[in-house]
Amino acid sequence: MEKIYDIVIIGSGPAGLAAASYAGRARMDTLIIEKAQEGGQIVITAEIENYPGGIDHESGPSLIGRMSKQAEHFGAQKVHDTIVEVELDGDVKHLKGLNGDYYGKTVIIATGAFPKPIGCKGEQEHIGKGVSYCATCDAAFFEDFDIYVVGGGDSAVEEALYLAKFGRKVTIIHRRDALRAAKSIQEKAFANPKIDFMWDSVVEEIKGEGLVTSMVVKNVKTGELREIEANEEDGTFGIFVFIGFVPNGALFEGKVAMENGYIVTDENMKTNIPGVFAAGDVRVKSLRQVVTAAADGAIAATQAERYIEGL
Ligand code: NAP
């Protein structure tokens, strides 16, 4: 029989890393499994403005770097693998990965969420050729080019502010005539001379052989279709999409109680399966922020420890 960890955490965003720090600090034998880059959604955030104590314009990667070091400091082990199947019933949970099998007395699911695509014609084909879901990653490619940002929430407006440092002009395309973003963020965008708005509009199609050269935008009130062409000298422009997230929960369908793709927990992060907890953006909750993800992780780890003590 392979090693049985006390706590196996799937996902290394703020929820997973906070859980790992708390678990490690409680001397729990802890493993974090991450399939891709450490940090989850937050590593594509240029600046975190509202994490408590964060007054120094810290970036997502920087905050995650510190959380990761802290988890290691408390003894959490890390492995890169993609979990493809889970057996969560019973006293020992079994996670099957592409590279190996992992066993834990408890599991904390902290798999987060991924950016929601527009779903329009031409979007998939132009990812990396003008279409992006990450300003921090791709802003520099559009230095002095026109940039369009799709969405009206905190992410769209905050990232538009960041992109305005690079682009010639940033146009926010929003499907309504009022932003959803927090008022303080809206104010900054309205005051920024490089940011424009295209209200009541949705992107219908993205075009271009290779790079993006034009897109079709529809006014949802009038039904009018308008083709936006790239500036002749530039030949292309950037389309950054920030219209929300989709939970990374497919693996757990039929294994734990779920609602609209999100995992249902109680306030102690317990799912309906004993010894299985969920934390962060993947669970049903009202506020998805770094601070709430980290809090979920801390609660889940503490509850997992109590569960193990009771075994
Ligand atoms: P969000 O709050 O869900 O906003 C999504 C935006 O995209 C909304 O404006 C929505 O329009 C629009 N939208 C949704 N589906 C669309 C579609 N199919 N086509 C066109 N537009 C569409 O998502 P988010 O901005 O990514 O934020 C997610 C969570 O993270 C939120 O809780 C947010 O507060 C938090 N967050 C916080 C910060 C911060 O505080 N610094 C930064 C980033 C994110 P409608 O307005 O019409 O619904």
Residues 137 and 215 in one domain: yes
**Residue 253 is which amino acid?**
E
Give the CATH number for residue 70: 3.50.50.60
pLDDT score for 1: 63
Name the residue range of residue 29's domain.
4-114+245-309
- Angstrom distance (rounded) from CA 135 to CA 60: 12
Nearest CA to ligand 1 atom 30: 288
Does 52 reside within a domain?
Answer: yes
Does 231 reside within a domain?
Answer: yes
pLDDT score for 95: 98
pTM passes above 0.75:
yes
Nearest CA to ligand 1 atom 14: 243
Cβ 180 under 6 angstroms from ligand 1: yes
Ligand 1 centroid to Cα of residue 116, in Å, is 10
Q: 133-187 pLDDT, tens per residue?
A: 989 888 999 999 999 999 999 999 999 999 999 999 999 999 999 999 999 999 9
Ligand 1 centroid to Cα of residue 235, in Å, is 30
Q: What percent of the chain has pLDDT over 70?
A: 100
pLDDT score for 54: 83
Nearest CA to ligand 1 atom 46: 180
Count structural domains, the chain: 2
Q: 69-96 pLDDT, tens per residue?
A: 999 999 999 999 999 999 999 999 999 9
Q: Which residues contact 112 (CB under 8 A, 6 or more apart)?
A: 11, 13, 15, 40, 41, 247, 248, 280, 281, 282, 293
Does 77 reside within a domain?
Answer: yes
Residues 142 and 224 in one domain: yes
- Angstrom distance (rounded) from CA 235 to CA 212: 8
Catalytic residues: 134, 137-138
Q: How far apart are the first and last CA of the chain?
A: 19
Residues 237 and 250 in one domain: no
- Of ligand 1's listed atoms, the one at least distance from the Cα of 154 is 25
Ligand 1 centroid to Cα of residue 152, in Å, is 6
Q: What is the CA radius of gyration of the chain?
A: 21
Residues 10 and 103 in one domain: yes
Nearest to 294 by CA among 22, 74, 6, 26: 22
String of DSSP letters for 210-250: SS--EEEEEETTT--EEEEEPPTTT---EEEE-S-EEES-G
